[in-house]
Structure 1
């Protein structure tokens, strides 16, 4: 009973904060995001050491002042991202999406998603990744993505309802292999985050020049489902709720000259693509999460380097 009351209280608190954000004009949130970013970085110093370590790995040649500007931009981006999610359902519709977003490679994406074959879209903790599936659903392309259920059942139901409003369906992180297989067999679209730490026994590939543990399942879905796979991100261009859906690359496992037919090669390919997108807008990446935890064993490291040479 106490846990239920605690969960519901937390849910009400979150709904209250979101309601307040929705009541504020986005211009006000935009103006407030810079001082809030300075508060998080210089005063509260939340995960400051982790961010500094990550930026030193990714941009070793940059100065401490440049690192600080990226960090401040990241915190500002996170505040704007929350506000954009809160406002999206009210302000981004099928009648006005051109005013809010652009998709330079739309013909390529639309051609693929109308082909009847399965599609895998790989993104990362970059830009407003929550609105990627929302925007695709807005264009009439439903997607499925894998996510762990929130511990708070009230928040979990509310977040799931938001994501599903335009056709972004959630699959459980565990025991969803049959659903994913059926989705790919039926020509559906699977959207995945490809930059999550996956433990010591995962596939180790280079990300900004340093080995990073990466889930094997992302590449398995592409190869087992023979699914054309794209690397994409929704980057903010200009003010809040103005986006560009960027496509770094797209490959098809069924073409004759496909050269990424192994899990390490395909994983390195999409990790390179994500790095390319991060370099376009480093201030819109989640440097707060520890992407480079752990190190591969000596045997795995030798194997990783051996496999990386042909791919390079």
Structure 2
């Protein structure tokens, strides 16, 4: 067996053991442990501390350094608790009891679109517990098609995909997924995408939390070419562990517009939706993610052409 495969399998076993331990601990205790781990990550080891400080300073310039430090600690707490919630979800959330953990906000809009005779593009960001969104929409009877990059570790990839597809979510590979997406839209399916992934220097650049960020143009193109409405969803924690609000922040329907929006306009629209939910619950966003890396080449200033030297006038 190849050394990398052995290493991958050992990492997989370690992760499975960790998940088993987390599942054996009550969520209330997981919450307290997550707070302790957040303190270690943020205050002691300062993991990605410079990136966190930079992101929060640009997004919330009105905050004091101490306020940003507390917000960074709360964001670590959210991330740690999010992992615990995902581990507990297969045992805690079922078709008969999901309503005890999830409140709905304007979700009837999404249901209406999902039951219609058109395709739907559902968008969400790295906000709240987005991993549970696909799991819970499947519980509600609305399976989605999601594009995701395969993990480098094949054992972990299979394990994560098993969780994601447990309630009907169908995972499409990131590379070469265009024909599958086209077929999903043709068959009036529901395509669910994370909208805030860096698209590189050639993406569509719009302002996000006071700085330009790159977005994939394909998201807007899917709606423009198929006529699919774009629904921005969120799943935010509203209380203790495993207590969420699933809601619709906004919907853009090209069929209801006198003049359909272009790529940049649609991108700006869903970016504004994401910024609204982030500003309401900033601790539930992935600030450890380098969302604003700008790989564009700096524009070279045009140098003035040299002028021929003037001859001195005769005395």
Instruction: Classify the TM-score, shorter chain.
Output: over 0.9
Counterpart in the other structure of 1:28: 29
Is the aligned partner of 1:281 residue 2:281?
Answer: yes
Counterpart in the other structure of 2:106: 105
Distance of 2:122 and 2:197 partners within structure 1: 15
Deviation at 1:215, TM superposition (A): 1.0
Distance of 1:3 and 1:122 partners within structure 2: 35
Deviation at 1:174, TM superposition (A): 0.8
Deviation at 1:297, TM superposition (A): 6.2
For residue 193 of structure 2, give the secondary structure of its aligned residue in structure 1.
strand
Counterpart in the other structure of 1:267: 267
Deviation at 1:259, TM superposition (A): 4.3
- Aligned pairs (5 A) from 1:81-160: 81-160=82-161
Q: Could you tell me whether the CA contact under 8 Å between 1:58 and 1:208 is conserved in 2?
A: yes
RMSD of aligned residue pairs (Cα, Å): 1.3
Instruction: State how many pairs are aligned.
Output: 298
TM-score, normalised via structure 1 length:
0.93
Is the aligned partner of 1:174 residue 2:188?
Answer: no
Counterpart in the other structure of 2:201: 200
Larger Rg over CA atoms = 2
TM-score, normalised via structure 2 length:
0.92
Deviation at 1:197, TM superposition (A): 1.2
Deviation at 1:296, TM superposition (A): 5.2
Please, which moves more after superposition, 121-130 or 1-10? 1-10
Q: Could you tell me whether the CA contact under 8 Å between 1:231 and 1:248 is conserved in 2?
A: yes
Distance of 1:298 and 1:17 partners within structure 2: 45
Q: Could you tell me whether the CA contact under 8 Å between 1:129 and 1:233 is conserved in 2?
A: yes
- Aligned pairs (5 A) from 1:198-277: 198-260=199-261, 262-277=262-277
Q: Could you tell me whether the CA contact under 8 Å between 1:211 and 1:295 is conserved in 2?
A: no
Distance of 1:241 and 1:181 partners within structure 2: 35
Task: Provide Cα deviations, 1:216-270, integer angstroms capped at 9, x if missing partner.
Answer: 111111111211111111100101111101211101112242542x110000110
